[in-house]
Chain A
Amino acid sequence: MLKIFKNKSEDLPEFWQNYEAKFHEKLPTEIAETRFVVLDTETTGFDLKKDRMLSIGAVAINKKSIDVADGFEEYISQETFNPKTVKIHGIIQNERIETLTEEEAVKAFLKYIGNSVLVAHHAGFDIGMINQALFRMGLPKLKNKVLDTVNLYRGTRIISNLINIEKSYSLDEIAETYNIDIKDRHTAAGDAFITAIAFLTILGKLNTDRKLNLKKLFRY
């Protein structure tokens, strides 16, 4: 028990300390100056404890543009057999994609995200998955601020009794509304890209008074 109350960073590995150190910097206030990392994970299922990540895909938004060069796409090798992994194994073998262990992938991901604001659709799940992986490595949870496109999208809807405002919108519904191509649906990077375009569109819709800043975004 005592260990928890000790100064953690001394015991934790160097890569974690480097990650943590980036949070000494303050986040910018303007959206245009903020680096957002839009991410998605493919998993073996929806159980945070039992299921595992198969891949992590992400793309960064700098200066309100999706920066393809600043992307992340890693596939994770599986220790135990799970029928749901067969399909992705097929892809990995056919295209000779290199895989990383979960630990390596998470390590690379921490380095990639730094203190950026994370964006995901149903963010709770993806962040939960990564936190579980961190937990298995004996590390604390992610420290980044998180935005969920489900909530942001809801903020673009009008307030009216005629529509169900509490509804939880799927990525497919949002893509349909914004007319976004959904060809790569259900690959982590493909979904991250769709989410990123949706995110930029939502920013445009929320910014009707041209005064939208980072702080206001977290209120949705």
Chain B
Amino acid sequence: MKNTIASRIADFLKNYPPFNLLQKEDLLTISKQVKVKYLEKGKMLFAEGDIGHKRFYVVNKGAISLERINNDKRETIDKCDEGDIFGLRPLFAKENYLINAIADEETVLYAIPIKKFKPLSEENKEVGNFLIQSFASNTRNPYSEAHKGKLISDKEPEENQFKPNNNLFELQPAPVTRKVVMTSPETTIKTAAQLMSSKKVGSVLVVENNIPQGIVTDEDFRDMVATGTFGIETPISKIMASPVICYPQGLSIAQAQLTMMKHHINHICITEDGTPNTKVVGILSEHDIMVSEGHNPSVLMKAIQRSSSTNELKKIRHKITLLLRGFIDSNIPLNHISKIIFELNDATIKRIIERCIKKLPAPPPCDFTWISLGSQGRKEQLLQTDQDNALIFEDVPPEKLEETRAYFLELARKVNKRLNIIGYEYCPAEMMAKNPKYCLSLSEWKSQFTNWIIDPGNDEILLCSIFFDFDISYGNIKLSNELANHIFSLTKDNRKFYAVMGATALRNPSPLGFFRQFLVEEDGENKDYFDIKKRGITPITDAARLLILYHQVKNISNTAERFEKLAQLETNNKELFLACAYASKVLLKFRTKHGLENRNSGRFIDLENLGKEEKIKLKRCFKSIRQVQELIKYRFEVTPYI
């Protein structure tokens, strides 16, 4: 019987070790026995102490976090991405699982029966070696020679076994870039420089038939070209450093760093046999080592700007989450945290748009602006939640309108898809630029807002509240400014509109009950949980938006910043507004902390697990919400009947 599904699975597996070492028929036999599992985000696949399953796992899509509980704290030991295997060692060693495996995001796994796989690994020496090495070194992709020869059954001392990456960092294999920027010796200096700037790299490898001849770095251009020693039409071979320092695969980070220091170089060329006489397989740069080590914002920023694939961006996203966790744990002020995370998110979006434009057959037919809405627009998106965005393009002649829209819809489809891959869920209300309703020309947007503001029903107000909090992510700021001006001219002294907005801002009344107890959800899936978004964050965000609109202040979309601005504008309410600014930060931090702990949006909080101090803090926030709601009620003459 033909087996399309098994072939599809084999097609995937053959790209990853050790499956790439198997014979085609063997791989197909195994693929026929695969079970495909789907795990929701946060779902545990196995826990420490569980008896080994009959199958081990390969990540097809998504990510699995391997964790250990240490002093009541969860410690991530490793993260498995597409193509990574895990859960194999305990099956070979016939032990129970020593770690927890949890889905870090929605994940599809291939479960492979150990019974079918073990005989193959015993017959096939290469596969066996791969496994021995991976068990011994505890790295998933162990080309590290240093670990050769250890046996599977060798039990390593506890502390060695689970060390997270940072401790054994120097012994990890150094990250090798496979996509090497290369050129031939005859290339002119000018062309080589153009190549380097288009690829955004600091060095180019000069090769002949893929054999490394020399290497040129930014420094060489400064020292030998900019000084006037060589003209820009000179062949690159005149200024290249030669011979190139070459090493075989499997260099550890420590080795790589020592080699670079010894030779005063920033790049090591990896060739087939480690000599300059065989073909180039990759390049290893000081920068890449720094990136693999660092969770520091500037390194991450650089990595984002240089990233050349969506997968790479996704890995950087994981690091941003680690950074966020570190910030929250060390109690760094939220202003500071949100700014840094916002900048990194913003750079990620920009990079994706940049790359998607290049993927399209033609450049954009006219100017456009990509705006981020909702929490990213307010610079409050700390956890990865839904993506809300829209696109404004310049007005074009009517006969060109649909053609232009088609171009931008195609662009938006690509961008939305990639944002989804790196972890921003699609907006359930389809408020995304790929939706033809939200990919409009400037005048279409203007008339859209006119309709919303002149006749505001519930849906229109909801749309307004999302679209009023926007931030330009990419493109021409004139377009979004013009739209903002249009909105202000419509809302100025528009009492009817303010009254409706006011009613919306008050739809979630004070979250404290009569006896000052918390109001929890009464039904649904989150019964008895406290909804911090609905009862805390949304009311305070709504209040800030309405008040700032009333004052016609442009370009501030962050809730805390809005209140700080309001405190300046209305000195008699200064105290209340500053308290609200504080409350908005506290609530956001609360949500972020809970989201990180529970790997979700942090929206629903289990009150039983809150400490007394935290409860008091929350209650204080709600007092400020109640006061600002009172203020809105009187100022905008909100009647309870809308």
Contact = CB atoms under 8 A, between A and B. Distances in A.
Interface string B1-30: 111111011010000000000000000000
Contact of B421 (A59, A179, A204): A179
B1 A74 contact: yes
B390 interface: no
- Secondary structure dominating the interface of B: mixed
Interface stretch (B199-207, B428-436, B480-488): B428-436
A201 to B, nearest CB: 6
A185 to B, nearest CB: 11
Contacts of A177: 426
B420 to A, nearest CB: 6
A72 B417 CA distance: 32
Contacts of B36: 65-66, 68, 196-197, 200
A157 interface: yes
A184 B6 CA distance: 12
A28 to B, nearest CB: 19
A153 interface: no
A69 B402 CA distance: 49
B351 to A, nearest CB: 19
Nearest to A190: B4
A190 B5 contact: yes
Contact of A204 (B6, B38, B61, B524): B38
Contact of B429 (A97, A163, A192): A163
Contacts of B6: 68, 71
B325 interface: no
B429 A158 contact: yes
B459 A68 contact: no
- Secondary structure dominating the interface of A: mixed
Interface residues of B, number: 36
A200 B106 CA distance: 11
A92 B421 CA distance: 36
Contacts of A36: none
Interface in A76-115: 95, 97-98
B417 A201 contact: no
A197 B108 contact: yes
A187 B4 contact: yes
A163 B401 CA distance: 24
A64 B37 contact: yes
Interface string A3-22: 00000000000000000000
Contacts of B420: 179
A176 B108 contact: no
Interface in A153-191: 157-158, 160-163, 176-179, 183-184, 187, 189-190
Interface of B: 1-6, 8-9, 11, 31-40, 61, 106, 108, 111, 417, 420-421, 426, 428-431, 459, 462-463, 524-525
Given A160-B428, A203-B38, A204-B40, 16 more contacts: A65-B111, A69-B33, A71-B5, A71-B6, A73-B2, A73-B4, A73-B5, A74-B1, A97-B2, A162-B459, A163-B429, A184-B4, A190-B4, A190-B8, A197-B38, A204-B38
11 contacts: A65-B36, A67-B35, A68-B3, A160-B429, A183-B11, A184-B4, A189-B5, A190-B5, A197-B108, A204-B38, A209-B525
Interface of A: 57, 59, 64-69, 71, 73-75, 95, 97-98, 157-158, 160-163, 176-179, 183-184, 187, 189-190, 192-193, 196-197, 200-201, 203-204, 207-209
